Every structure is written in C-alpha cells, then in structure tokens.
Amino acid sequence: MTELIPVSNDKLEKQDNFQSKTTTAYENDLATENTWVKFRKVLREPLAEFFACLVMIIFGDGVVAQVVLSNSTKGNYQSINWGWGIGVMFGVYISGGISGGHLNPCVTLANCVFRKFPFWKFPIYAISQTLGCFFGALIVYLNYYSAFDAFEGAGLRTVIGSTSTASVFSTYPAIFLSTGRQFLSELVSSAVLMACIFAICDQYNTPANDKGPLIILFLIFGIGACLGWQTGYAINMSRDFGTRLLSYAVGYGNEVWSAGHYYFWVPMVAPFAGCLLGGFLYDFFIYTGTESPLNFPYFGLKRLSRKVSRSFL
C-alpha cells in the first residue's frame, strides 16, 4: 500500500515508544479505578436496563406528551407508534450487548422460563426496569411542565375529561371495554410481542443479529398500529406501573388507580401471561434449541421436578 505521507524509521520508533508509554499509563489508571467504575462493574446489567428503559420512556412518553399537549397539531396516533418503536429500538441498542436488552420484566420472565435465563436475576432486572421507566417519565414531565400547565391549567392534573393528561404517562382503556376484554387485549398484544422477539433472536431460524433492534422498531409499531387502540398497548409491566407511579407522585391523585374499573392491575398481570403464552406458542410450533423445556421429555416437567427436589435435599 502506498503511504500518502512517508514516515521515517526514527519517527516510527518515537511513535512506538509514545504508544507504549500511553498504554502503560492507561493500565496504571485502570489499576486505580474510581469507586463509580467499580460499582458499575458489579451492577452493569441492572444499570444497562435502567438507562435503556429511561431512554425508551423519554421517547415513548415524550411523543405522547407532544401529541396530547398540542391537541394533535404536532402529531397523531401513528406518531405515537413511531415514537415508541424508536424508543424501544434505542433502548435495545443501549443495553443489548450488556444485559440482553429486555426493557420489560415480562420479557425477562419469559427468558427465564424458556431460555435458561437465571431466575435470580429476574427481580433485579424488574426493579431496574421499573425505576428506569419512573425516572424517564419524570424527565418528560419536567420537560413539558409548562405545556401541562398551559393545556390543563396551572397546577391542575386530571385523569378523566377532555383535557386530561394522565394518558401521557401510562395506559388507560377505552370506556366500552369490560375488565375481561381489557385483559384479553393486553394478553394478545403481549403474546405477539414475545413470539416475535423469540423469532428475531432464534439462531436456529433466521436470526436478525445486529439488525434486531431495527426490526423490533417495526414490531412495536405494528403492535401499536394493529392492536394498540383499545388499551394503549402497555405490553410491559414496568412501562405502565413505573410511569403510573410517577403520575400519582406528581399529583394526579387516586384516579390513576381507580380509572377504567381499576384497570391499573391489568397491564401489571396480562403482559406476564401474554409473554409466557407467546413464548410457549413459538417454542411449541417453531423452536428446536435445547434451551427450551418444551424440547425435553414431558415438556421439561420431569427435569423441573428433579431440580425442585434437589433444591430441598
């Protein structure tokens, strides 16, 4: 290869010496890491999930705030679907190589059941994800605080009514839905989510690999565009509970829990059931890997019983 600027041997030796000294200095710096670096090493996965969820909510709740507070002059329902899809995509990019990019305790639990993800990590991930969603919603609230006041009235925060803004943070069902129908809507959406995530990550099928986050963007957009209208497609316990908790904390009152026939528990439970159902259906019909209990005799129940019995011996 022709060099654009010829370099003498003396200069090369000086460069090598400089690089050697720089490397040694860097290694010495690593040997004296600060407290935060040591802390981050221990909690790298939970911190990744926390920050990924925070970013996801800034995009997701941020786009809903823009649509609602502008009275739909700065966006519409499809804008919301795009915003959530982009938020999830960047959340997965942020944490995918560190924690797996779950961003959702329901996805984490499905991976525990069907992909041998350690069960002991589940509560750690769930807490990190919920806190990330809470603080992401707080950032959105502070960013749009003046717009909230202009839209509803200074200091006024309502859940129900023509100028209510609680839906900026968490999901609320259509008024014609019974509790059972609310649950079904979230169950179906969450099952589709989990089945498609398993398909995207299936190394025995057509894995998306580095294109996974981009494909997940379209998955979230599709769920919102096709299944999201009735309940707002929470499909994620932390995404709904963490942000609902924030709305309660900033003054929306007890209606955040009682609205929609006490709907708040539906996006806390139905996404878990839906993701487990979606994971089961994908593995039952498609997956051939050894991680899934469905590919073992008696669908893995015999192996599970042995594990349980050994744990008590």
Per-residue pLDDT reduced to its tens digit, 219-247: 999 999 999 999 999 999 999 999 999 99
Global pTM?
A: 0.87
Distance CA 153, CA 56 (A): 28
Average pLDDT of span 145-173 = 96
- Residue ranges and CATH numbers for the domains of the chain are 44-311 (1.20.1080.10)
Could you give the CA distance from residue 146 to residue 160 in angstroms, rounded to a whole number?
20
Of 170, 144, 294, residue with least CA distance to 240: 170
Would you state the pLDDT for residue 297?
87
How far apart CA 96 and CA 85 sit, in angstroms, is 16
Q: Are 212 and 96 in contact (CB under 8 A)?
A: yes
Question: What's the mean per-residue pLDDT of the chain?
Answer: 91
Please count the other Cβ atoms lying within 10 Å of the Cβ belonging to residue 304: 14
Q: How far apart are CA 115 and CA 46, in angstroms?
A: 19
Q: What is the pLDDT of residue 147?
A: 98
**Residue 298: pLDDT band with limits 50, 70, 90:** confident
- The answer to whether 268 touches 256, Cβ cutoff 8 Å, is no
Provide the percentage of residues in the chain whose pLDDT is more than 70. 87
Residues 84-139: tens digit of each pLDDT: 999 999 999 999 999 999 999 999 999 999 999 999 999 999 999 999 999 999 99
> Is pLDDT of 284 > 70?
yes
Residue-level pLDDT at 29: 61
* HEC secondary structure over the chain: CCCCCCCCHHHHHHHHHHHHHHHHHHHHHHHCCCHHHHHHHHCHHHHHHHHHHHHHHHHHHHHHHHHHHCCCCCCCHHHHHHHHHHHHHHHHHHHHHHHCCCCCHHHHHHHHHHCCCCHHHHHHHHHHHHHHHHHHHHHHHHHCHHHHHHHHCCCCCCCCCCCCCHHHCCCCCCCCCCHHHHHHHHHHHHHHHHHHHHHHHCCCCCCCHHHHHHHHHHHHHHHHHHHCCCCCCCCCHHHHHHHHHHHHHHHHCCHHHHHHHHHHHHHHHHHHHHHHHHHHHHHHHCCCCCCCHHHCHHHHHHHHHHHHHHHCC
In the block, tokens 């008696």 appear at: 298
